[in-house]
Amino acid sequence: MTYIRIQHPEHFHGLPVHTPAPSLPLPAADAVAWRLECDYDEQTDFGVLWQQFLDTVDTARVRALVIGPWWREEYTPFAPVVELIVAHADRFPALRGLFLADVVGEECEVSWLRMCDITPVLEALPLLEEFTVRGCGQEGLGLRPIRHTALKSLRFESGGLPGDLVRAVASSELPALERLDLWFGSSWYGADATVEDIGPVLSGGTFPRLRHLGLQNSEIQDEIAAAVASAPVVAQLETLALSMGTLGDTGGEALLNGQPLNHLSSLDLRHHYLTGPVLDRIRAACAPAVVEGDEAEEDYGDPDDEPERYVAVSE
């Protein structure tokens, strides 16, 4: 079984990620994506770290922020970080990219991150263009339907995305949205979204500028593939990702029997349970689109029973 190893991004919002340190000179405020994280060895509270950042960097020119681990010893709730961002939103008029909870497994499992409702961040930053959030619903991750006219990229990386959050995304007014990625995750960690929850997205009328759609890391990947096969939104897409989940031949056949996908530049099917012949047929049918699909994952469980299949990111 292959798990996707979440890693810290080297670039975010088109900028190199920079973590300030006392021993390093400060780059120009608009030249990097600033990564703020609590260093376990230094034992500095995030509130103190945040104030130091406000005092030493020209935040009026900051274009991108990445929030890493925000606790010192015990995992603490994310809500105080959201409160700080909202309280000082006026200090960041140039901010266009924000990544909340850039935390990897060595620091904390994604399902342990103690998240919160992140809607106030979007409300406080009406010019934000790229928003990425990591975390699971069982630890409080939430979103309310919102209207945001500048957001171009929205990404939720989760091992257990709650259905109410998915419904909130689908109910939001995001007229500029070009990229949407949803990692659904495992029911063991709070994933309870259904295909019906993404119905407004699949209809094509919700996000008129959408060019990339990622419906990934799902235990219902076959059902999602079947819905995508006839979804009007596909005609407007340039790239499509159905990777990281339990996609098997049932979903593969649905894609083959559905609308043409050869207008895409790429179809991402990595981490799948397709047999070789079905994957080969998908590649042939989608040409000249690039179909990304590595070797199939192994089914677990009793061969006489339903196979056990796993998403790439859960705990």
Dist. CA 267–CA 157, nearest whole Å? 19
pLDDT of residue 41: 63
Q: Which residue's entry shows tokens 């390093």?
A: 24
Domain 9-209 is found in CATH 3.80.10.10: yes
| pLDDT value, residue 3 | 45
Tell me what pLDDT residue 241 has: 98
pLDDT of residue 2: 43
CB atoms within 10 A of CB 132: 20
Q: What is the pLDDT of residue 210?
A: 98
Q: Domains of the chain: which residue ranges?
A: 9-209
Distances (CA, A) of 102 to 36, 256, 281: 10, 37, 37
Res 74: pLDDT: 83
Separation in Å, CA 90 to CA 84, 96, 100, 133: 11, 13, 18, 21
Neighbour tally for 64: CB within 10 Å:
25
Mean pLDDT by groups of 10 residues along the chain of 315 residues: 70 96 90 92 84 96 97 90 98 98 90 94 98 88 97 96 96 98 94 96 95 97 98 98 96 97 96 94 94 82 70 89
Cβ atoms 216, 243 nearer than 8 A: yes
d(CA 166, CA 202): 13
Query: For residues 130 and 181, what is the distance between their CA atoms, to the nearest angstrom?
Result: 12
Both tokens of 24, joined, read: 């390093």
DSSP-assigned letters across all residues of 68-101: ----SSS---SHHHHHHHHHTGGG-TT--EEEE-
Helix axes 79-87 and 46-56, enclosed angle (nearest 10):
20
CB-count burial class (<10 Å; 0-12, 13-18, 19+) for 215: buried
Q: How far apart are CA 140 and CA 125, in angstroms?
A: 21
